[in-house]
Amino acid sequence: MSLYRGRFAPSPTGPLHLGNARTALLSWLAARAAGGAYVMRVEDLDGPRVRPGLEARILEELRWLGLDWDEGPDVGGPAGPYRQSERRPRHAAALEALRAAGLAYPCFCSRAEVAAASQAPHGPSDEGPRYPGTCRDLSAAEVARRAATRRPAWRFRVPPGPVVFEDAVHGRCVHDVLAETGDFVVTRADGIPAYQLAVVVDDAAMGITEVVRGDDLLPSTARQLLLYRALGLTPPRFAHVPLVTGEDGARLAKRHGALSLGELRARGADAAAVTGLLAALSGLAPAGARVAPRDLVAGFALRKVAPRPVVLATAEVQRLVAPRSS
């Protein structure tokens, strides 16, 4: 059996909040409990949204929390580079392989045009309306005519039928990608690889054996599995942990008092108390516990994580920064 290899892949487009930190903690625990390697990969493909200096800040805050990694942009390693923006040649090669196999085709539709297409039901939130196949069967002459005035995106030609996989948290999952999403974008019109393609190529190249991530990405898994098959790559196992929400059931936001990890640190929060809160939310420690991540490794298993949203009360966040009595 190959050595366990897990990863966390933050995007330097916004600060690290408690929900992200909890996912990082659980992915780290899965790797350490398995005696495996933990990889840090920065997903910085969305250039205009990447904020200067945020990568270093995120890594520093994860270390403050008590996490470490064996490979990453700041420590190097055999599977680098560890910034997605520096891995573009691999992404381009994967697209070329799909094109050569007839599994990717140029699409000249804008998002607005897809949305305006007749009977275009809304697909997964990250994909937008279901693509109706407008450009799927264009002739070579029509492709050339349209390409003269508009750069195309490239879409994956989705085969019919369900995609079935076993998730370590949610159990058996079934998605009909063609019905739910239709042919999906693998490279944007500006040449930047879409998340679905980049994450498949990079996880495979880095030998990741299990992906632990938030369950907002659960719908992406079926699309990614189709790409693994098309590219002849071995997929990892998947574990989608529930998101942390506010008391109103919505994803954490400023209105919930959702301070970033950096803000908590700046306001005097204790790292052990923050980790204790994340562990308590995950059923790994009692309420009010103060623990280091290493204290949670023994006996950790993803099956202990319940497949339901985790509610974070505003009062719990405020207690982290409240002055402690002597």
**pLDDT tens track for 146-175:** 999 999 999 999 999 999 999 999 999 999
The string of pLDDT tens digits covering residues 237-248 is 999 999 888 887
In angstroms, the Cα distances linking 248 to 152, 264, 268, 269, 274 are: 41, 22, 27, 25, 22
Please report the pLDDT score of residue 326 as a whole number: 44
* Residues catalogued as catalytic: 254
Please report the pLDDT score of residue 119 as a whole number: 54
Domains and CATH numbers, the chain: 5-82+242-321 (3.40.50.620), 88-197 (3.90.800.10)
Task: Enter the tokens of residue 305.
Answer: 């994580």
* pLDDT above 90 coverage of the chain, percent: 76
Please report the pLDDT score of residue 122 as a whole number: 53
Average pLDDT over residues 259-281: 93
Query: Of 263, 253, 219, nearest to 238 (Cα)?
Result: 219
Q: CB–CB of 201/87 below 8 Å? A: yes
Q: How confident is the model at residue 118 (pLDDT cuts 50, 70, 90)?
A: very low
Q: Cα–Cα distance between 117 and 126 in angstroms, integer?
A: 18
Q: How confident is the model at residue 61 (pLDDT cuts 50, 70, 90)?
A: very high
The conformation of residue 64, written as its DSSP 8-state character, comes to H
Please report the pLDDT score of residue 41 as a whole number: 98
